[in-house]
A and B are shown apart, each in its own frame.
Chain A
C-alpha cells in the first residue's frame, strides 16, 4: 500500500465519521464544528488529486467564512439540547426513506463510471494557472453569470439589512433630544 493510498483511506474514514457526527450530535455548535472538520477532510482529498487551489479555496470560503457565520448565528441564538424540536416518528421514517432512495440513485449512477476514474497524485488541472485558463476561456460566460448572481444576492442582503426600523419606531422629537444631549456632552458623530 503506497502512502497516497493510506492517506486516501484515512481521509475517507475521517470524512465519513465526521459527516455522521454532524447529524448525530445533539448540540448544534458541535454539529457545526464537525462540519468544519468534514470540509477539511474534503480539502485533503483535493490535495490528493493535486488540486491545491481548490483545496485552499474550500478552506478559505467554506471552513473560514461560511462556517464562521453559521457559528455566529448558532452561538447568538443560544440553542441547546432542550430547545431542539422533537420530530414525530413518521417524519423520521420518511426522511430515512428519502435519503435511502437518493443513495440508491447515486450508487446506480456511479456504478458505471469506472472507466473515468481520476488518477490520484497526478494531473494538474487543479493548479491555479490551468484552472484560471479554463475558467476565463471555455467557461467565461457561466463564470461571469455566476459572479453577477453573487453580486445581486449581496446587494439584496444589504438592502434588507439596511431597512431603517429604528427611525420609524422612535418619535422624531426623542431622536432630536438624544442628538442635542450627545452634542452637549461633546460626543462626536451626533
Chain B
C-alpha cells in the first residue's frame, strides 16, 4: 500500500501514537491540577477539594466546565489575532516536546515492530532545546497583545528568565551528551540501559538541569512572571475562559514534559531497574510495563515540583538573575570541562 511514496502504515501508526500521547498529556495535566490542590492541602494541613465525586476526583472536570462556560473577553485595544495566538502557541510548544521522547520498548503489532516514539531524529535533544527556546513566544505574544502594562512587564520578565536559564541548561546537557556520545534520544536511553543511569555520572549536571527546568516552567521559586503581589496576575491577566485555561494547562503540560525529559536523560528513561528488558522480547505487555516505569519516574518529578512550590517562597528578581548568571552558569561550565577531561582520559 504505497501512495505518493508514503508508507501509509507508518503514517497511521504515527497518527495513532501522536493522538495517544496528546491525550495522555492532557489527562496528566488535568489531574496535575487536582494533585496540586491536594498536595497543597496536605502540606497546609487542610482537606483540599472533596465535593465533586469521591475524594473530589471529578474536580478537574468541574473546573474545565467552569472555564468553558465563562464569558470570553477580548480587550478593546488589544491586537485580536495575536491575543488569540498567544495561548495557542503556549499549548503547541508545550506539546511539541513529546515527539522525540522514547515512551517505551518497541512492541510487536501483528509482525510489525512498532517503536513507541514518534520521531527518532538524529538531533533529539537539540530538538527539545529548540522547542523550549520557541516556547517564549506564547508568553511574550500573549502579554504584549493584552495591551496592559502589568502583562507586558510579566511577559518580559518571563522571557528574560527563560533565556537566562536556557544557557545553564544547555551547558549541563552538553556534559550528558559527552557521556552518551549521541544526540539521539533512543541512543541515550539504550546507553543508560547498558551502562547505568546518567544520574550516577552527572549528579551535579542533574541538579543544574532540575533547577533550570523549574525556571523554564515558571514554577516557584521562579514564578516571577505570575508574582501576584507585584503584577496582579502576570502575563495572562487579561485572559478569560478557556484561553486562560490554555495558559494554565500549558504550564502543567510543560511540567509533565520536563519531568519526562529529566527521567529520559538522567534516570534511564523507560529502563526498568534491575530487569533486562531485551530478554523479555517485544510483547505488548513489556512495552506497557516500560511505559509505566517512565510514567512513575516522571510523575515523581511532577510531585517534587509541587512539593517545592508549596514549601519555598519566591525569589526576588535580582536574586533570580544572580543565581542564573553568576552561580549556575559557571557551575555548569566547570561541570562540562571536568566531564570532558575525564571522558578524554578514560578513553585513552
Q: Name A residues whose Cβ lies closer than 8 Å to a Cβ of B.
A: 2-3, 27, 29, 33, 36, 52-53, 56-57, 59-60, 63-65, 68, 71-72, 75-76, 127-128, 189
Contacts and interface: CB of A to CB of B under 8 A. Distances in A.
A53 B6 CA distance: 24
Given A3-B6, A64-B133, A68-B140, A75 B156 contact: yes
B4 A3 contact: yes
B121 interface: yes
B123 A60 contact: no
B123 A53 contact: yes
B74 interface: no
B130 A128 contact: no
Contacts of A52: 121-123
A189 B317 CA distance: 13
24 contacts: A3-B5, A29-B79, A29-B82, A33-B82, A33-B141, A36-B137, A52-B121, A52-B122, A53-B123, A53-B126, A56-B126, A56-B127, A59-B130, A59-B133, A63-B133, A63-B134, A65-B163, A68-B137, A68-B140, A68-B163, A72-B160, A75-B156, A128-B122, A128-B183
Contacts, number: 62
A72 B6 contact: no
A71 B126 contact: no
A71 B136 CA distance: 11
Task: Point out which of B123, B155, B163 has the most chain A C-beta atoms below 10 A from its C-beta.
Answer: B123
A72 B161 CA distance: 13
Interface size class of B (residues with CB under 8 A): 20 to 34
B307 interface: no
Interface string B199-232: 0000000000000000000000000000000000
Contacts of A59: 130, 133-134
A56 B141 CA distance: 22
Interface in B98-148: 121-123, 126-127, 129-130, 132-134, 136-137, 140-141, 144
B159 interface: yes
Nearest to A55: B123
Contacts of B122: 52-53, 127-128
Q: Is the interface of B mostly helix, strand, loop or mixed?
A: helix
| 4 closest Cβ pairs, A-B complex | A64-B133, A59-B130, A56-B126, A52-B123
Contact of B129 (A53, A60, A63): A60
Contacts of B82: 29, 33
Contacts of A75: 140, 144, 152, 155-156
Contacts of B4: 2-3
Given A3-B6, A52-B122, A76-B156, A60 B136 contact: no
Contacts of A3: 4-6
B84 to A, nearest CB: 13
A128 B82 CA distance: 36
Contact of B133 (A2, A53, A60, A76): A60
A29 B142 CA distance: 13
A3 B6 CA distance: 8
A135 to B, nearest CB: 16
Nearest to B81: A30
A51 B95 CA distance: 24
Contact of B144 (A29, A63, A65, A127): A29
